[in-house]
Amino acid sequence: MIIAIDGPSASGKSTTAKGVAEKLGITHLNTGAMYRAVTLGLKEAGIQPDDEKSVCQFLAGMDIRFDESNHIHLNGIDVSMEIRSGDISSQVSAVSAIPMVREKMVMAQRQIAGEKDCVLEGRDIGTVVFPDAEFKFFLVADVEIRAKRRLQDLEKIGETKSISELIEDIKRRDELDSSRDHSPLVQAEDAIPIDTSCLTIDEQINKIVNLINKK
């Protein structure tokens, strides 16, 4: 069973996907973390996203995997904290628009999830990675609420930004993610939309679990 949870940044996907996977006792795959890890790797290697040859070489030698605590490792190093920085957030849309990067990530995602029951969260899970997923949800939320959530995430890693800056960051990222040529952020026709603006985390999780159990 594949459960696809797509939606824009800070719409509540990660917390919801994690909670749904826990309740159902199945695997949770955060595909955004994979694009973030690639972004960190390219940055550390000093490679610009438009340098196709170097990006290609980097991807060929790159290893991304998740450990039993679902921490992401890039070339053997746990990078789960670093990939959450504001710096990576502002660069990840450019990196995730590179077709070569997407092809490699989609292949890896199908391999990780293919053999198991899995909740995958991302932007293109229900449209590209698993278009035949049994369940598809598309999460949305007001931009101010998303900015407040992003601020809480940043504060956890000791960073801060003003709400107005975060609103601008989110709008810019929405625009980049939705307008890219290759698998843009778009709701699958058969996805169930869920507005998380006024829902608690438990309500979001229960809503999805109840819809799954009903079937």
Site for ligand DC contains 31 (CB under 6 A): yes
Element at 30 (helix H, strand E): strand 27-30
Does 9 sit near ligand DC (CB under 6 A)?
yes
Q: Which of 104, 122, 147, 194 touches ligand DC by CB under 6 A?
A: 122
In angstroms, the CA 109 to CA 112 distance is 5
Near ligand DC by CB under 6 A: residue from 16, 80, 96, 127: 96
Region for 87 from its dihedrals, namely left if φ exceeds 0, alpha if ψ lies in -120 to 50, beta otherwise: alpha
Beta carbons within 10 angstroms of residue 45's beta carbon = 13
- Contact between residue 191 and residue 137 where contact means Cβ atoms under 8 Å apart: yes
Q: Which is nearer to ligand DC, 32 or 195 (CB)?
A: 32
Among 3, 17, 35, 126, binds ligand DC (CB under 6 A): 35
Residue 118 C-beta: closest distance to ligand DC, Å: 13
Site for ligand DC, residues 36 to 55, rule: CB under 6 A: 36
DSSP class per residue in 148-190: HHHHHHHHHTT----HHHHHHHHHHHHHHHHH-SSS-S---TT
92 is a contact residue toward ligand DC (CB under 6 A): yes
Cα separation, 194 vs 63, in Å, equals 34
Cβ-proximal residues to 25 (8 Å cutoff; 6+ apart), any chain: none
* Cβ 30 to ligand DC shortest distance, Å: 7
- 130-169 footprint of ligand DC as x/- string (CB under 6 A): ----------------------------------------
Q: Measured from the CB of residue 97, what is the shortest distance to ligand DC in angstroms?
A: 8
Stretch that binds ligand DC, among 19-27, 50-58, 121-129, 194-202 (CB under 6 A): 121-129
Total Cβ atoms within 10 A of residue 73: 15
Q: Which amino acid is at 136?
A: K
Of 32 and 86, the one with the shorter C-beta distance to ligand DC is 32
Per CB under 6 A, does 16 bind ligand DC? Answer: no
Residues that bind ligand DC (CB under 6 A): 9, 31-32, 35-36, 92-93, 96, 122-124, 173, 177
